[in-house]
Structure formats: structure tokens, C-alpha cells
């Protein structure tokens, strides 16, 4: 699977037992279109031609992301940087 967020390699592993995380100090992410706070998992697919594929044959790459449960919008921060300029409405 592709990474959802770029630049996560330098962030601490939040699942580690040594990390104390106080979620009361964290802010909620909201849909940039309607303000809803709930999202569900969706997939985008990229088709790669044989000319640029490492395997030398056409490929389909799934990209997992999150869409607003209310309106279907995908916030730009949920996409890899190189996909941020695409239309993300479902």
C-alpha cells in the first residue's frame, strides 16, 4: 500500500508503549467542505504504463485515503503531496 501522508518517516511511532499521548490536547480534523468529523476509508487507483513501470508491464496502484462520511469530500491533507491538486470529490 502507498503511504497516505508524506514525511511520516521522521515522526515518532505513536503506537510505541513509551510514548505518552494526551488526546485531550489534540484537535479534531474536520471535512474541509462540510465540517463533519467522521471519515471512512476509500481507495484511489493510479494506472501506470509499461514504459514507466518498474516491472516493465502496466500496473494499477491502489492509494488508500479517507473520505468524509457526510459529503464524500477528501481533504487535501489526506493525499500524498503529488496528488494534492486533483479533484477529490466523490
- List, for residues 2-44, the tens digit of each pLDDT value: 444 444 444 455 566 678 889 999 999 999 999 999 999 999 9
Mean pLDDT of 78-88: 73
pTM of the model: 0.64
Percent of the chain with pLDDT over 70: 73
Q: Which residues contact 90 (CB under 8 A, 6 or more apart)?
A: 42, 67, 72, 73, 74
Q: Where are the domains of the chain?
A: 8-83
Confidence of residue 84 (pLDDT cuts 50, 70, 90): low
Cα–Cα distance measured from residue 78 to residue 39, given in angstroms and rounded to the nearest whole number? 11
**pLDDT for res 87:** 56
Cα–Cα distance measured from residue 77 to residue 58, given in angstroms and rounded to the nearest whole number? 28
Amino acid at each position: 500500500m502507498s503511504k497516505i501522508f508524506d514525511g511520516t518517516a521522521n515522526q515518532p511511532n505513536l503506537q510505541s508503549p513509551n510514548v505518552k499521548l494526551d488526546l485531550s490536547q489534540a484537535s479534531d480534523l474536520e471535512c474541509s467542505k462540510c465540517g463533519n468529523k467522521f471519515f471512512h476509508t476509500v481507495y484511489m487507483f493510479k494506472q501506470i504504463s509499461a514504459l514507466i513501470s518498474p516491472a516493465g508491464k502496466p500496473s494499477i496502484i491502489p492509494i488508500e485515503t479517507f473520505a468524509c462520511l457526510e459529503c464524500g469530500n477528501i481533504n487535501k491533507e489526506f493525499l500524498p503531496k503529488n496528488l494534492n491538486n486533483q479533484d477529490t470529490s466523490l
